[in-house]
Structure 1
């Protein structure tokens, strides 16, 4: 059965569950909201629904119920690789089922027909100043494709049907995930390789194709596969996923929605953090370990010097997690296997051994463990992708998978426009004095 038909069956089976919950149990209370949460960015307020992934504070991310190791182990692998293809992961995110090799091959074939980027997209990106940030270029490229949105065309046709509208979201979403690595590679070559573009190889999977298009060798193909899967989704509350969901809830098409999500991802408190961590790590290496091997004693003193000077240790701590980010562990395992003697990785590895203890003793962080950003830049740097303002583009390619899977299901289940209720500061002050809202 083709992916879209499998998805149609699952949506039809799932839709009555959400309908029943809203109709029969809509008044059941599942949480309370504090003033701290209201002022502090709605942290931990349970008011979003997704079955694509769930972030447990202690366990970390689960994709469709599977941990990262379980996901990598269960999905069909790329030929000669220890890692799954991105195409197999896309099938898994959409359906919750581990695909057969035949089903993966069908997605591979489908993406080959979708990955041809309209020439006007490249022409539009070329009109931008060459020193524009690569994330601005990616956002412009996605927005430019909006003219071909099948969802928008359906809505404008007057034949819009709530129960079947998801089908055109699926079409737009599939086009976006198939094309975004091609656009990202174009931007890399335009900005950093003198506009020497490399054609798509129709025999390669997405990760391998991306590696080839940016001039990388065989080893980087697994880097791309791993990186895009690890960065694909982190439940619905992060800025890029939530923004994409919010914009689409107004029935803006997936191109508008994901361009907005990318603009959120570009922020230094979200997707740009990996760039800032790498910058800090390189400066740290230059200052403390330029001509000597990093030791526990050396790194311990250096970290205390950093904290005592009022600075933070970037890449450590997370808004939700209260343990080491499993995405960090997955990348660490890759480094231990493929680049154990890399000086920058050896430094990052030693910081990982020392920093949690230092931060715990310091006592000013809720989570002294590393997140995904503490490791990801080191891998790119090792393989020669040293243009770190491009790293968020790589994040954006992977995050498209989760955001587009979520949008397809949002429309399949007919979720409403998102519209939280606001309060005023005097209201909060009154409720604070009363000990709560009465």
Structure 2
């Protein structure tokens, strides 16, 4: 048994009694109130999901297993010659909550290399789609096609299914999927945008470095990949992609079915596709300023007001939960200040960051006038030559697999039931509204 799985066995055995005690002794304790506004408004801020993988505080931002982004980057072992931890180190941490040793990281790296071979039929399915299909469609179809490899599904149908052991087979699926998804993503990129010329994996590289290698992008894109996948891995369970993965897996669907569905949610313009929309808007913004015109507080302020007065929003600003600058934005900004401070697009993004919050506060309609992760991420990809912006959500999807897979392994470990919220009718709401509440 690998050190990662052995650690996970110990953590699960420690955790199960906590969940069981909460249900048995404290199941009646009220932790939230559902108003009509929350019922109609997409269950925003209703506390009804449980995850220990990450937590999003409105003022502090994301914590992975209790650690901030800065603390996570500082604690985990770095890739040799790199500034950021390996994705494999982060995977160990995300699953167990424990900071791995270098020996444990090396074991995961070796294990992922054994797991990463993608069946040829998956590529055949991708190639059967029209070549102008959106790359997220290709990624979702490839993951879905790979479902025939599911060890969890085979175990469920074996006649020996045991609820206490189900997580082990979900862990196998999850580990296979996170090892293979960068292979599929790089294949889609080279197939669609690089004349179908592919670069084989390098057996000497960790996942982030190998992804950069297969994409055909030189250093420091290996560190960009590590940083990007970690930052985009998880954001609580309530966002569309994470919640979809949890919901589908709660029906005892396997990891492939669950994550293909999660990717379809991630592809929406109000979720993962936003990074593509932000870069398009920034490029248009730059064009309106004029070629060679240096962004200043004055011309950027005027351009932002022109955008708002035209009834448009400022993409990349605002967040459903956060009420401060997204720490994921800050982490990427720090990378840009170190590695690409003179990039014209970054200089524009940086000036928008200085000006936009004040403009939005003066405008008065934004609950959160601060930038989110999407305000920065596309500019880094553009700088390093990945300029096919409809591919950016695929990159998001590779990272988000880490969080979704870690969560559904724990869902099975703790025996969470199928999710089934109760619906009400508009007439019921009107009756309760008139009565001042549900009696």
Q: TM-score under structure 2 normalisation?
A: 0.99
Deviation, 1:329, is: 0.2
Name the structure 2 match of 1:363: 364
1:416 equivalent in alignment to 2:409: no
Deviations 1:62-89 (A, max 9, x none): 0000000000000000001110000000
Aligned to 1:29: 30
Map 1:126-145 onto structure 2 (within 5 A).
126-145=127-146
Aligned partner of residue 10 in structure 1, secondary structure = helix
Q: Deviations over 1:330-387 (max 9, x none)?
A: 0000000000000000000000000000000110000000000000000000111010
Q: Which residue of 2 aligns with 1:315?
A: 316
How far apart, in 2, do the equivalents of 1:33 and 1:242 lie?
A: 19
Question: Which residue number in structure 2 is paired with residue 272 of structure 1?
Answer: 273
Structure 1: how far apart are the matches of 2:110 and 2:216?
24
Q: How many residues align structurally? A: 438
Aligned equivalent of 1:56: 57
Query: In the alignment, what sits opposite 2:111?
Result: 110
1:11-50 matches, cutoff 5 A: 11-50=12-51
Residues 189-268 of structure 1: matches in 2 within 5 Å?
A: 189-268=190-269
Structure 1 match to 2:306: 305
Matched, 1:375 2:361: no
Rounded Cα–Cα distance in structure 2 between residues aligned with 1:102 and 1:199: 26
Q: Tell me the equivalent position of 1:123.
A: 124
* 1:298 Cα deviation after fit: 1.0
Question: Which residue of structure 2 lines up, in the alignment, with residue 86 of structure 1?
Answer: 87
Task: Give a deviation string over 1:8-65, Cα, whole Å, max 9, x none.
Answer: 1110110011011011111100010000000000000000000000000000000000
Give 1:291 shift: 2.4
Distance 1:357 1:127 in 2: 49
- Give the superposition deviation at 1:101: 0.2
Q: With the length of structure 1 as denominator, give the TM-score of the two structures.
A: 0.99
Match of 1:350 in 2: 351
Q: Distance in 2 between matches of 1:380 and 1:290?
A: 21
Shift of 1:289: 4.1
Could you report, residue by residue, the CA deviation over 1:237-290 in whole angstroms, capped at 9, with x for unpaired residues?
A: 000000000000000001000000000000000000000000000000000142
CA-atom RMSD in angstroms: 0.6
SS in structure 2 of the partner of residue 329 of structure 1: helix
Distance in structure 2 (CA, Å) of the matches to 1:154 and 1:366: 47
The question of 1:341 aligning with 2:342 is answered yes
Q: Secondary structure at the match of 1:235?
A: coil
Other-structure match for 1:397: 398
Q: Distance in 1 between matches of 2:311 and 2:32?
A: 37
Distance 1:10 1:317 in 2: 36
Deviation (angstroms), 1:192: 0.4
